[in-house]
Structure 1
Amino acid sequence: MAFKLLSQNDFDEIFEGKDCFCGSGASYEVCHREKKYRNPKEIALDQNRFMHRSRRCPVVTEGRNCEKPVIASHSQQRRGPLKLLTENGHVLGFSGGPNAGPRGESTPELTKISARKASTFPGLCAEHDAQLFRDIENQELKPNYKTALGLARRNTLYEAVVHTDATLFLNWLQTVPTFDFQMNTAGFTAELDNMRHYAAYNWYLATLISKIETRKSARKLYFFIAKIDACLPMSATGCFCIENDLDGVKLQKFSDTKRKFSYAQISVLPQGNGTTIFSISSTNDRDMHTSRKFLESFARCGAEELSNAILRTALEYTENIYFKESWVKTLSETQRNSLCQRFDDAAYFKVGLEKPDFSLARPLDIQLEGKVVASLLKTN
């Protein structure tokens, strides 16, 4: 799926005769088509409204678009991990992360997020959501190929939808509104190009994983999946470009602009039986060597150390990360600050920004309990 930049006339056509995406009830023509922003906070609020606007299911079957209204899909099992982490109706997530309030200029903070909103995105219609995710939604997960495949597909679909919305909103922001403060919209270009590429690649990945599942592609899903004998006080899902492995080896450099970068999908999901399923995967359509080396570094991790490696990786590479509040309260102020400082959401929108080689190997002064009791590595 390719994305072309849209003009103001294109946006007029898209929103013609429709209620404005902001939820005001007014038509787009008399509302945000003439929008003048007074401060950056208004932009952050509108981006969230834009993402949760009403739209149609993007699934294509036999060449035809579904077009049924979408529901609030979850990137994590709503009856599993989120239920286990929920206390008094909420989980803790980072400011600036999905479905949380906007962050300021300082380090992100842990904030309460309604369990009903956490990990949600306007993904699919009710029929396709149930159909595509039934194998990983309503049952305890097992450390096998079927689970790894289903989790990888859900992660890529989430990233595709979210970054398509981010691309459209940034394109709209650069094209339509005016500002009462200094705003360099021309400076969006590099970020916009980056998000266009990332969104398109994740739509391709979602399709590729479906073909791998039905054996209609010669490509493969490489993965490492493990069962940990403790219900970790966190959950996380996401997709990211591989940089370094757990041993501190730089596998891909963003400065190598001629390279086709390999990506990975991560899931950390506590289960109702007192265990946690961890899955990390990568399709072999790009650099097979990079995908192998990255996944094998997790397989080499000690049985009692993997839980801590998972926490470091989730903080470095995902935004969709949630914690149990009572666990966070057991941490010292220094440990809570370390948790927030390690959450690196700013890197998502800094084109060409590379992490230090040792980023994943760098210790965190927080120790999670849990030992690997079953695992499976597939890199061939």
Structure 2
Amino acid sequence: MDKKFRDFLINFNKFKNKHLWSGCFHEDSNCSQRIIKAHSIQNNKILNKISENGEVLMFGAVGGNDYGITTDLQEKGRKKATTFTGFCGHHDHSIFRPIENYDYIPGNAEQEFLFTYRATAKEYHAKKSSANMYRTLLDLLDKGSYTAISSSFEAGPPSEEHIHYMKELYSRALFGTQDAEKRLERYRQKLNTDLENMFYDDIITNVIVLGEEYHIAVSSATFLEENLNGTKINDLGDFSISLAPLFITVFPQNGQTFILLSHFKRNDRRYRFIKEDLLKRDTREIKMILSNIILSHVENLVVSPKRWRETKLSTRNKITKLFNKNTKEVNNPLIIDYNLDLFL
């Protein structure tokens, strides 16, 4: 990483961290005073299992050019990995007790609801934080406070062309992020109402059980654009129609790996290909398809350092390349690499 990019990354991360949303996803009169850094993937049950010397691997920026930022897997302490300021201490402890203190049992509606709930909370936090950042950036541009955006402008203000470019870039980003904010707020209200009423039946979960422990973990909410036959599931370019989120949870447990693919009951038709097609494939195909989905649609992914080290260099390069493709391109087909296997 060259000095120029390193300085940019340091400044960007400082700016981003200043604008992280901090609040309780389940805000009510029972909230404790302090908002904590809650884990989106269980620390003691999952991260501890796949860590090495207290470290796990997550994708992070390592370089950049005119085409965007390049990422690679980097070590991160498991106590910090996957954390977000999205719950107060009381609710983080009380809500997730059924999945923190007990092993997952396939078909347990409460546990499957809670995995979905946690993935939604993480995505809600990410979108609220991004919206906060883009609003501030546009406000600073309007005020001409360029050095507050980047220390690189201390040598002189940006050109009119550069200012116009930044305004266009941040405005487009904010437009899409605000739309996601509104959708996730509706999901939050719905899930909190269901949680309070102990109504878990509105979440449909298809479970895949692999016969050995793979040391990866995922907790994410995403929107698949199409199914395995190319039929449209979500049109991400049309902001006037409803979207159907898919909630993905992956973790090892007791010699097996569990993959939970969850969606709202009202979206059952859009995701029926999971039960009617995906689940009927053989294990090799299932792993290949899920590897493509995860690397193309998920950022909250954790990998074992030991398993990664033991993986062939060609496979590691392939995984990293596809993840980077995900961050730079949209509207990719569901399957990009028919020989991909992320399950390490």
Quick check: 1:72 aligned with 2:37? yes
In the alignment, residue 139 of structure 1 is paired with which amino acid?
Y
- The alignment yields a C-alpha RMSD, in angstroms, of 3.0
Considering fraction of residues, name the structure with more helix. Answer: 2
Q: 1:172 aligns with which of 136, 145, 149?
A: 136
Structure 2: stretches of 5+ with no match in the other structure = 1-5, 148-152
Task: Write the mapping of 1:1-380 to structure 2, written as runs, cut at 5 A.
Answer: 40-50=8-18, 55-61=22-28, 64=29, 66=31, 68-96=33-61, 105=68, 107-144=70-107, 145-176=109-140, 177-179=145-147, 180=153, 181=158, 182-183=162-163, 184-187=165-168, 188-213=170-195, 220-271=202-253, 273-285=254-266, 287-294=267-274, 296-344=276-324, 347=327, 353-356=330-333, 359-360=334-335, 362-366=337-341, 368=343
Corresponding residue pairs, total: 318
Matched-pair contact (CA < 8 Å) for 2:221–2:246? yes
1:257-305: CA deviations, max 9, x gaps? 442121111000112x1222211111134x5421333554432332454
1:65-100: CA deviations, max 9, x gaps? 83721111011111122111100221111114xxxx
In the alignment, residue 78 of structure 1 is paired with which amino acid?
N
Q: TM-score, normalised by structure 1?
A: 0.74
Matched-pair contact (CA < 8 Å) for 2:19–2:132? no
**SS class of match (2:185):** helix
Matched-pair contact (CA < 8 Å) for 1:242–1:264? yes
Q: CA deviation at 1:208?
A: 1.4
CA distance in 2, matches of 1:211, 1:40: 42
Q: TM-score, normalised by structure 2?
A: 0.81
Structure 1: stretches of 5+ with no match in the other structure = 1-37, 370-380
Matched-pair contact (CA < 8 Å) for 1:156–1:203? no
Structure 1 residues 246 and 60: CA distance shift in structure 2, 3 A: same
CA distance in 2, matches of 1:134, 1:233: 23
Matched-pair contact (CA < 8 Å) for 1:133–1:150? yes
